Structure 1
Amino acid sequence: MTANVYKRKISLRIKRKRRIRAKISGCATCPRVSIFKSNRTVYAQVINDVNSTTLCASDGKVLSLKANKEGAKALAKDLAAKLKDKGIEQVVFDRNGYVYHGVVASFADALRENGIKL
């Protein structure tokens, strides 16, 4: 693939991201969980948009996880434990412009399995 194809893919994801972010926002009682995936790892953070602060985050690189479904499930389990320590039971899920499929879907399902309401 050429560089123009990659630029187009990224620009389309950014367009989807802006559409999604126009509709959702996180607060102190119901923060936003944003996921980012690269070719190697998956990252997630919990954000309070009212104060523009990150409440907690999980890094797949630190946990030595790959960017596959199993890695996303392990990352969600780690993030759910951190959320429960902070007393947060419900969040808004931000798929960050990615299609709700594969890694993103397994991350969301694993959050639900670990007791976090989306």
Structure 2
Amino acid sequence: MASRKEALAKRASRVRRQIKAVANGRPRLSVHRSSKNIYAQIIDDVAGVTLAAASTLDAGLRSTLKTGADKGAAAAVGKLVAERATAAGVSEVVFDRGAFVYHGRIKALADAAREGGLSF
């Protein structure tokens, strides 16, 4: 039986394979959450560069948040990454939830990114 880490890696690769098939050259909004923080970055897979990134560890956000592990923090990161993406000239992305279920903090980040101006 596969370990938890192997199962998560397998699920993430399956999701990324499906995303890359439908991306049509759009950058990827990749999300990672840990037990204490949440991270989001917009990646151009064609060029292999990160166009914009945000996390609960950013100095501006860290001082305003009570904790980095709740829906409010995820929404703040989603809004911040959307602002940074529009500043970088990105308006359309594909959402890469990785191995995480689209629920809770992941959904809150996605909704806030949409409200911030990203289209996916």
TM-score range normalised by the length of the shorter chain: 0.7 to 0.9
1:76 maps to 2:72 = no
Secondary structure class of the residue paired with 1:21: helix
Alignment partner, residue 11 of structure 2: 16
- How far off is 1:30 after superposition? 1.9
Alignment partner, residue 59 of structure 1: 55
Alignment partner, residue 44 of structure 2: 48
Letter in 1 for 2:100: Y
Secondary structure class of the residue paired with 2:103: coil
State TM-score, norm by structure 1: 0.86
Secondary structure class of the residue paired with 1:24: helix
- How far off is 1:8 after superposition? 2.9
CA RMSD, Structure 1 to Structure 2 (Å): 1.9
- How far off is 1:87 after superposition? 1.7
Q: Percent identity of the aligned residues? A: 38
Letter in 2 for 1:12: A
- How far off is 1:48 after superposition? 0.5
Gaps of 5+ in 2: none
Secondary structure class of the residue paired with 1:100: coil
Gaps of 5+ in 1: 1-6
Alignment partner, residue 119 of structure 2: 117
- How far off is 1:9 after superposition? 2.7
State TM-score, norm by structure 2: 0.85
Alignment partner, residue 3 of structure 1: none
